Structure 1
């Protein structure tokens, strides 16, 4: 797999390179008019949406956590909360998510965040040899093995995705 290119370096790619994890960068021209960043990435890159994952920040018992689900569906907040040892979760305040991660909405990567957070990855990721997650900016996805993502983020896996969205 390719290593990062200097012009596309982000904290996420730096974290992968430092850990010696193989990855492939998938840059694309982001359309600012598009609101669904993950679905845009899947469409532009020609990759099935079930293999492209979005990184969402949730609040569980007053603390922020990361939930990673396929862009083809939605996050089941109750399931995410249970996976993180709680009864309920809510979507995090967007500004709090940006402050915590150091990334902008639509470009939040589960890797290289300013402050690490408890992380849960939808178990559907394990069905693929590689998946794509945000590379740390809009218009850049990273392809890597789900086992490497789990190891680097210390994620738990659970069924946290629901339906098509």
Structure 2
């Protein structure tokens, strides 16, 4: 990308593209033909398994109102008790909080380029995959990466933060 391509992108995707470009990330955001507000919608649009979608879930830490971003595999559910044991007690974040804290709307929250840097955790289950996809700041925007890129791009620790699968 030389910069002129960024002008046509929605503002949130442009912010993500600039961060990716500045970090030397190999893959620029792409815009899907239809919105992918859920991991399943994104997987269907990309032709990948739902587990390859890196979901960005925002919680609100109760002690200081900080945004807590949990990045997990699309086929997993976050275990809030595990998150709380690492970052302190959290609660649900409504759409207004998510937008104010991250600069993104729900369904397009990227792991990078937040308005305010969140407390971030990366779930280790994402490392089952060689290639994953994350939201790029808009419900139609996504970008490709490998799980290790999340550590480099966010500086966040990898932790066990999902519910155990029941057989």
TM-score tier (shorter): 0.7 to 0.9
- The 2-side partners of 1:145 and 1:132 are apart by 8
8 Å contact 1:3–1:23 — kept in the other structure? no
Q: Please, which of 45, 60, 82 is the counterpart of residue 79 of structure 1?
A: 82
Structure 2 residue runs of 5 or longer lacking an equivalent are: none
Kindly report the root-mean-square deviation, in angstroms, between the aligned alpha carbons of the 2 structures: 2.3
Structure 1 residue runs of 5 or longer lacking an equivalent are: none
8 Å contact 1:26–1:45 — kept in the other structure? no
Aligned to 2:31: 27
Residues matched between the structures, number: 158
- The 2-side partners of 1:53 and 1:161 are apart by 13
Deviation >4 Å, runs of 4+: 2-5
Higher strand share goes to which structure?
A: 1
Residue-by-residue CA offset, 1:71-105 (whole Å, 9 max, x unaligned): 22221111112232x2x322222211111111111
Segment drifting more, 120-129 vs 20-29:
20-29
TM-aligned CA distance change 1:146 to 1:97, over 3 Å: same
Aligned to 1:51: 52
> What aligned pairs does 1:62-73 form with structure 2 within 5 A after superposition?
62=64, 63-73=66-76
How does the TM-score come out when normalised to structure 1? 0.84
8 Å contact 2:109–2:135 — kept in the other structure? yes
